[in-house]
Amino acid sequence: MKIISGTAHRALAEKIAETLGQPLADVQVDAFPDGETAVKINENVRGEDVFIIQPSCPPTNHNIMELLILVDAARRASAERITAVMPFFGYARQDRKDQPRVPITAKLVANLLTSAGVNRVLTMDLHAPQIQGFFDIPVDHLYAKPVLIGYLRERHPDTSNLTVVSPDVGGVKMARAYADALGAELAIVAKHRISATRVEAMNVIGDVKDRDVLLVDDMTETAGTLVSAADILHKHGAKRIFAGVSHAIIGEMAHDRLKTSKIEELITTDSVPQAFGPKIQAVSIAPLMGEAIRRINGGQSVTSLFSV
């Protein structure tokens, strides 16, 4: 087995390698003066099972291109099998034609990975699970829920007064899974999206008065959905408001919103390096990803890691 890290999230790659008791492979990733990416693998990978860890987080296009170049280098060095380990899969929201003359970019990225020489993909909490079907190669789709639930049970052991809330109708299935695991009630915020950065929350379906609330979602970038939902939940009498998301690609706008929001704590994973800052608690997925890599390498079942 060889573990290779791109530059997207080396800290996570080092943690994963540590859980596996493996050193990261010696790989040189540089840029030419004109901005082109230069890659060189400085050790033998012939006949090896190669795992390349590279979430496609911002700068998204750069990180995807770097991943493709790393894959090409490993393939041309005669690696036996190449697995793209993408804890966060970018472009996942562009998964269908919802307007005339727009691309299905998630499918394009799947094609690019396959064409470059990827034999398998390991990812976590895709925005749309059906994206697995965009690939003609095996996709192991893990869930952050076991990791986040473990932290929540430790941090908030008393769930008798907890309601899990989906910030939109589309996230009800995920919210129901969290509610069942925590033994909590379920509620929904019906929202109306105005633009990519503005969300107008409309109403609450369910009882949140005098209850602690956990908002759950698969990802957040601007925190618009979460903050709007938190505002309306506060107006409906929610006592304490927390949020749990799988991927927190937090930018400056999101940090500003979270600082002044009703959300006490945003619980997330370290799937991307942007998951840090005030009110943000990142729980590591390195043990989960490391165990999945160990089982893939050993030809063992990873089904038990698919816990929803």
Report the distance separating Cα 79 and Cα 198, nearest Å: 46
Cα–Cα distance list, 103 to 92, 94, 113, 116 (Å): 12, 8, 17, 20
Decide if 219 contacts 248 (C-beta within 8 A). yes
Q: Virtual CA dihedral for 22, 27, 30, 35, nearest 10 degrees? A: -90
- Is residue 15 annotated as part of the catalytic site, yes or no? no
Within 10 A of 181 (CB to CB), how many other CB atoms are there?
18
Start-end of H helices in the chain: 10-20, 60-76, 105-116, 145-155, 172-182, 224-235, 252-259, 286-298
74 Cβ contact list (under 8 Å, min separation 6)? 4, 41, 45, 50, 52, 82, 117
Report the distance separating Cα 61 and Cα 156, nearest Å: 38
Q: Virtual CA dihedral for 258, 264, 269, 274, nearest 10 degrees? A: 20
Q: Which of 40, 191, 235, 239 is catalytic?
A: 191
φ, ψ of residue 193 in degrees (nearest 5):
-85, 125
The catalytic residue positions are: 191
